[in-house]
Structure 1
Amino acid sequence: MSLTPLLLSRSDSKGGAARAAFRLHKALRMEGIPSLMRVDHKGTDDWTVAASSGVLGRGMAIARPALDRIMLKLQRAGAGHRSPSVLSAVKAEALNQCNFSVLHLHWVCGGFLSIEQIAKIRKPKVWTFHDMWAFCGTEHLAPDDAARWRRGYSSGNKPIGHRGIDIDRWTWSRKRRAWQQPFQLVAPSAWMADRVAESALFAGWPVRVIPNALDANVYKPVDSALAREIAGIPNDDWVILYCALGGGSDPNKGFDLLSEALHQLVQKHPSRKIRLICVGQSEPQQAGGFPCPVEWMGHLSDDIAMALVYSAADVVVVPSRQESFSQTAAEAQACGVPVVAFRIGGLKDVISHAESGYLAEPFDATDFAHGLGWVLGDPTRRRTLGMSARRRAIEKFSYPVVAALHADLYEQVIASADHGLQRQYGAS
């Protein structure tokens, strides 16, 4: 059978995981692999992406995420996105009858593919974990040292402060009952692969580390002065870029830590003109308290526009408290811009400390400010870091590299499935 993958994702454009799945889809097709993609929410006009059609189908695609989360009202838990994944837009029976040689799951929550339907898929399959949901309860992000996803969700380890029915435990128990036959898992970073191996659900399952794909022909360096002129960014001494959807309201994105680090940077370099560029949200109602001018650019979905904004920056900051990969850091490096981040999660895979950026001690705003000063204070060092960052992005994240890694994995998964059928039916 020829290699014909079908990528399954709730969306092809909404959110980082959706963008990662769509980029892999494009990478595979550019390398001659006839990938197709099935989504519930389609935001692109790509003909190789199929979505729910008709008025009813499109209406249900909008309604399903909210309907799927209704039962979460029975549980009063901490903040953060959660998914019980009871509803399913896609049925395993249809997937099992399709002509694709391998199915590749990505972010499949929001009523797109339920826990039980995933278990019923009999086709050769691969699943990339873009967050922690698969081995948690309903949580998409959980503390790294949380006992529940490591040891299992019991009545005795319910977090203090959680009230009502334990929907997290119920969801995790459904996963444990449904997912008993191991199949191939993919993690975008070594950190995520370690979390998978340490989880109560997936310990012993096969997991491969393959980074997210990036089009290095789109994300590439542009002359900084030209990029600033096109983007309308003043030509200040130091331009710092922060990219995160709704980052100011999401504690995980570390906006508070960035603010603290910027105050220290300004104090240490009072003669410098420093400007912060924020992409991913418009100016919030309460936007004061910054020690430097701030440009609020809102949401930019166009890759070419993003490449220009990256090139306009002297440094990109990723002050997140948890990241499984960080496409922002990869995109910035592809544009030849060094990145300052904390030494956590997948950022340790994406950034090479002192070679393509600076990895500060976790959540230490003082060290983060030091990293910013170290990168920005020496123009020669900054150029060297930028060139190294560009090389690293091409060697590790570019379409041909990541597509080849996936193609090799698909072939192995298909061959393993064929071998299993031969043993089952006694074929020689």
Structure 2
Amino acid sequence: MVLHLSTFHLEGGAGVAATRLHRALVKAGIESEMLVPSSLLEEDNVTSLAENKWDSRVAWGRFVAERLYFLPQEKDKSIRFAFSPAEVGADVSQHPLVERANIIHLHWINFGFLSINSLSKLFSLGKPVVWTLHDMWTFTGGCHYSRGCNHYLNHCCYCPFLAKPDQYDISFSQFEFKKDLYDQTRLALISPSLWLDKTVKTAALTKHLHSLNIPNCIDTAIFKPLNTAEIRAKLQLPANKRFILFVGANTQDPRKGFNFFREAMALLRKDFDDLEVLILGKARAIAFDEFPVPVHYLGKITRTEDLINAYNAVDLIVVPSLEDNLPNTIMEAMACAIPAVGFATGGIPEMIDHQVNGYVSENRSAASLAEGISWIIQNNSNGDLSSNAREKVLNTYSEHIIAEKYRILYQSMLNE
């Protein structure tokens, strides 16, 4: 049995990706279970540590304790959730599912779910461990994305995320703890993107470990093209406009590149008088003040059906992330036959085949982003880009393809 450990069930990109893999494995006939701190939705083969209100409060308390530990050390509030010290976590090593598991499969496990000490107890069980990386935390001294810092290539210290960087700061100590931890068990590191896999192979903590690239997966029977006119009518959107989609978990997060998107739309306004944007995610109303084109804000969407409708209401999606692994948003949009525009960073160029199913823009260039949007508008009148986008997902990210890759990996680790 494979047991997936994830901080989130169906929340956040990492939680969604973990759950999709778990479901794909079950469909493929692989015995798969999932253990999460708490869940708002009951699902077969998904177990929550929080079985009652008290347990939920304890889980929340671990999250609060983790953040309070880091609070006096953070440089400023902009990086509050960009660094995880992994000081507080639950001990799941004696949980019945852990005891029954043949393979422990880790995903994103921060925010008070598993600490370094929790991981050490898990690793000491001697069971094979697969770890799907959803960001850079596994091989850094605590940051989830390094924002240009390359200390992880040698040894983390003088961390730019901290208020008082020092040779022996908490990034140094976490780095040391991880170095000892990774020598304890059979460990395979899986990167959804080739970019992250290449980084794993150069990072000081992980370059000697078994690592490979296996993308995330998606259910292409659910995420599929629908009738655009019907969806727009349902969402009360004008039928005669060109719609561009921006999806950000938080539009205020600089890593999501919302300001580049805004600037690109300002550049395009003079060439197209029928552009409007659809925006999903957490945002403050002030973010759309004086936006260069009309905005339709749908807020944070949690229902899959609503998300699929949003994709099918637009002409293209723009993902101007400044750092990213293998964004679910691009995969979801392309599965719905929606071309994508994104910066040449992280795993984005692996998903978007330039001028085949979308457009890869020069990193951090609003002008290049605008050029990409314009190119898709002018070159997708026959729907070829849309068809190619759907085809890319079917051939690369379908559930059965990814489940089989993991089946081979699990078997090889059990045979060692």
Corresponding residue for 1:420? Answer: none
Task: Quote the offset at 1:39 in angstroms.
Answer: 0.3
Within-5 A mapping of 1:390-405? 390-405=390-405
Tell me how far 1:283 sits from its aligned partner. 5.0
| CA contact 2:93–2:99 (8 Å) conserved in 1 | no
Which amino acid in structure 2 is aligned with residue 34 of structure 1? E
The count of aligned residue pairs is 406
Please tell me whether the aligned partners of residues 74 and 164 of structure 1 are also in contact (alpha carbons under 8 angstroms).
Answer: no
The aligned residue for residue 252 of structure 1 is: 255
Name whichever of 71-80 and 387-396 sits farther off: 71-80
Superposed displacement of residue 91, structure 1 = 2.8
Distance 1:164 1:104, change over 3 A: same
Aligned equivalents of 1:215, 1:385: Cα separation in 2: 21
Tell me what 1:237 maps to.
Answer: 241
1:289 has 2:296 as partner: no
From 150, 153, 164, the equivalent of 2:156 is 153
Q: In the alignment, does 2:19 pair up with 1:22?
A: yes
Q: Deviations over 1:186-239 (max 9, x none)?
A: 000000111111111111211111111101111000011111112222223310
Q: 1:281, 1:297 within 8 Å by CA — same for their partners in 2?
A: no
CA distance in 2, matches of 1:227, 1:16: 24
How much identity, in percent, do the aligned residues show?
29
Deviation of the 1:160 alpha carbon: 9.2
Q: Which moved more, 1:321-330 or 1:29-38?
A: 29-38
Q: Which residue of 2 aligns with 1:85?
A: 86
Cα distance, 1:93 vs. partner? 4.2
SS at 2:7's partner residue? Answer: coil
The aligned residue for residue 386 of structure 1 is 386
List gaps (5 residues or longer) in structure 2: none
CA shift, 1:74, in A, is 3.5
Report what 1:425 is aligned to.
Answer: none
Structure-2 residue corresponding to 1:413: 413
1:260-279 matched pairs, under 5 angstroms: 260-269=263-272, 272-279=273-280
- Deviation of 1:168 after TM superposition, in Å, equals 2.1
**C-alpha contact (below 8 Å) 1:39/1:51 kept by paired residues:** yes
Tell me whether 1:138 sits opposite 2:142 in the alignment: yes
SS at match of 1:280: strand
Is 163-172 or 203-212 further displaced after alignment? 163-172
User: 2:377 maps to which residue?
Assistant: 376
Q: How much has 1:282 moved relative to structure 2?
A: 4.8
Indicate the larger mover: 330-339 or 208-217. 208-217
Contact 2:3 2:97 in 1 (8 A): no
Does residue 180 (structure 1) correspond to residue 183 (structure 2)? The answer is yes
Superimposed CA distance per residue, residues 253-300 of structure 1 (whole angstroms, 9 cap, x where no aligned partner): 00000011111111223xx31110001125523521211100110011
Q: Distance in 2 between matches of 1:160 and 1:87?
A: 19
Specify the alignment match of 2:3 in structure 1.
Answer: 6
TM-score (norm. length: structure 1) = 0.91
Change (3 A) 1:34 1:160: closer
Shift, 1:13, TM fit: 1.5
TM-score (norm. length: structure 2):
0.93
- The CA distance in 2 between the partners of 1:334 and 1:128, in whole Å, is 22
Quote the offset at 1:14 in angstroms. 1.9
Specify the SS of the correspondent of 2:318. Answer: strand
RMSD across aligned positions (CA): 1.8
Q: Is the 8 A contact 2:276 2:294 kept in 1?
A: yes
Unaligned 5+ runs, structure 1 = 417-428
Q: Is the 8 A contact 1:193 1:209 kept in 2?
A: yes
Partner SS, residue 279 of structure 1: strand
- More displaced 10-residue stretch of structure 1: 113-122 or 254-263: 113-122
